[in-house]
Amino acid sequence: MDCFNHCTGRFLGGVPCSGLSEKAVRGVHSLSLRGDVQIKGHFLYILHIENRAILLYTMLCIIKTAAGTIKKKGAVGMIAHLRLKAYGKINLALDVLGRKPDGYHEVRMVMQTVGLHDRIDLYRTREPGIRLETNLFYLPDNEQNLAYRAAALLFEEFGIKEGLSIRLRKFIPVSAGMAGGSTDAAAVLYGVNRMFGLELTLQELMERGVKLGADIPYCIMRGTALSEGIGEKLTRLPAIPQCQVLIAKPGISVSTKTVYESLDAMDLKPEDHPDIDGMIEEIRKKDLYAVAGKFGNVLERVTAGRYPVIGQIEDLMKEQGAVNAMMSGSGPTVFGLFTNPAAARKAYQVLRYGEGSGLAKQVYLTNFFNIGKSTAGRPRR
């Protein structure tokens, strides 16, 4: 605005009005009672409004209308930088029902997001292309990285011509059964969608995520959920009562593919399968102790059979007061649930610095990350 005469309340000059329709301006004009409001080019000119109160009210109407118009046109997508958290997951129960003709395994799992997370910064750049850097030298920074491929998927589909710089700081253990790569990809899908104003819904993001990995739809959804099919069929469950979650990864890495292939060769009995329906019932009752009593992971038969340290960590956690402890995913990470914060801190110290320090290379103390009712249907980070 060029000039405001404090004596008469008269406005002389123009303000930018890109995206503001003439219809909207005429509506504001009708509210001004006395004066002249008009558009010339890309500027709104407000002339001859004598009453100062009406003038201020008119300006507020213009700002509100312009903001609404810009939002509808997707200008909210013009974001230069986004900082995101990519949360890890644990499996409270994991069952494998069989192998499909295409090689994928049909699973039934109860998934839970935890507070341990990676940090991702997205920067919009003028230079075309996707660039990725991480704090771990051994992680790929190209198409072999799921986070890179997530960005590339949306860039190709929507013809995005600008560039993107991804800065990834890993804290979730790598190759640990906590969906670290999948959750990074999920966060990038969310971030690119928001940054470039693609306006994809949560479901639409999940449909694209499953093209990259079976765990990605859940990592977009987050919270407590039943996962079926190859992991893409998700049913949200009530939030589990909050507690402390102790996470310990021994200094070994396992191949998820190898673990599943080895399970195929096993002859599982009915009692080897976890009672997932029973666990869901206890979740609905919000009985944490009963939920922990239903822990079960058929993949642990493979991984823990090869690496006894997994069972040793579980035993130590339970000795230190964990309600229960179990391996997550295909392993080798072990988690224990604690309802006593002091006991959880002591167990952390024992595994990190004390007598159990030789069992685990990475140790974290966190809690559940639950989704509130107000955010359950929206993609938020």
pLDDT for the residue 173: 94
pLDDT for the residue 267: 80
Q: Do 81-236 and 244-367 show the same overall fold?
A: no
CA distance 337 to 97: 26
pLDDT for the residue 268: 84
pLDDT over threshold 50, residue 72: no
Q: Check whether the bond before 128 is cis (ω within 30° of 0).
A: no
Place of tokens 């850097």: 133
Given CA atoms 189, 85, 370, 112 in this order, what sign does their dihedral have? positive
Among residues 102, 127, 94, 89, which one has the least CA distance to residue 215?
89
The mean pLDDT of 250-267, rounded to a whole number, is 88
Given CA atoms 244, 250, 256, 262 in this order, what sign does their dihedral have? negative
Q: Select from 3.30.230.10, 2.160.20.10, 3.30.420.10, 3.40.50.300 the CATH code of 81-236.
A: 3.30.230.10
How many Cβ atoms are within 10 Å of 136's Cβ, its own excluded? Answer: 9
Strands 3-5 and 129-134: unpaired
Helix (H, G, I), strand (E, B) or coil at 80: coil
Segment among 14-28, 47-61, 165-179 with least mean pLDDT? 14-28
Summary mean pLDDT of the chain: 85
Tokens of 216: 């990605």
Segment among 67-71, 284-288, 330-334 with least mean pLDDT? 67-71
Q: Which residue has the higher pLDDT, 344 or 381?
A: 344
pLDDT over threshold 80, residue 260: yes
pLDDT for the residue 157: 98
pLDDT for the residue 53: 61
Give the type of residue at 262: S
pLDDT tens, position by position, 264-306: 878 888 889 999 999 999 999 999 999 999 999 999 999 999 9
The mean pLDDT of 230-257, rounded to a whole number, is 94
CA distance 9 to 3: 10
CA distance 222 to 29: 48
Domain coordinates of the chain in residue numbers? 9-73, 81-236, 244-367
CA distance 350 to 254: 25
pLDDT for the residue 103: 78
Active site (catalytic) residues: 89, 215
Q: Which CATH class is domain 244-367?
A: alpha beta
At 54, the pLDDT band (50, 70, 90 cuts) reads: low
pLDDT for the residue 36: 54
CA distance 238 to 280: 9
CA distance 315 to 253: 20
At 55, the pLDDT band (50, 70, 90 cuts) reads: low
CA distance 202 to 253: 32
207-232 b/e (C-beta count within 10 Å ≥ 16 → b): ebbbebbbbbbbbbbbbbbbbbbbbb
CA distance 97 to 20: 57
- Global pTM reads 0.78
